[in-house]
Amino acid sequence: MDTAMILDELQARALADPQVRERLLATKTAEDPLKEFCRVSRELGYELYEMELITVGEEFYAAMRRSTNGGGENSPMLEGEDDFYELFFASIEGMP
């Protein structure tokens, strides 16, 4: 399972289970939030590591860039890379 799929599954679990949601949200206040998020994710059964989380947005952006007009210098400008980690939290914050 790739990192994006793991985040999708974690998001679905967090939205369905308030305890999972609270555990994941609590990682944001840890001394090393990214490391703690991955640790909790692994406890929940998802093999997720910091570097995978960091590079998933960069890889997605690079694939998009390559897919437009051959990916050369004449490719249209894209809006930057998505931060999947921040998007994950945006999707589960503010839920009751």
Instruction: Flag whether 96 is in a domain.
Output: no
pLDDT digits (tens, 9 = 90+) for 45-66: 999 999 888 887 666 666 656 6
What is the rounded distance in angstroms from the CA atom of residue 72 to the CA atom of residue 65?
8
CB atoms within 10 A of CB 96: 4
pLDDT digits (tens, 9 = 90+) for 30-41: 999 999 999 999
Q: With 60 as the cut, is the pLDDT of residue 80 above it?
A: no
Q: How far apart are the first and last CA of the chain?
A: 29
Question: pTM value?
Answer: 0.74
| H or E, element range at 89 | helix 84-92
Number of domains comprising the chain: 1
Domain carrying residue 61: 3-90
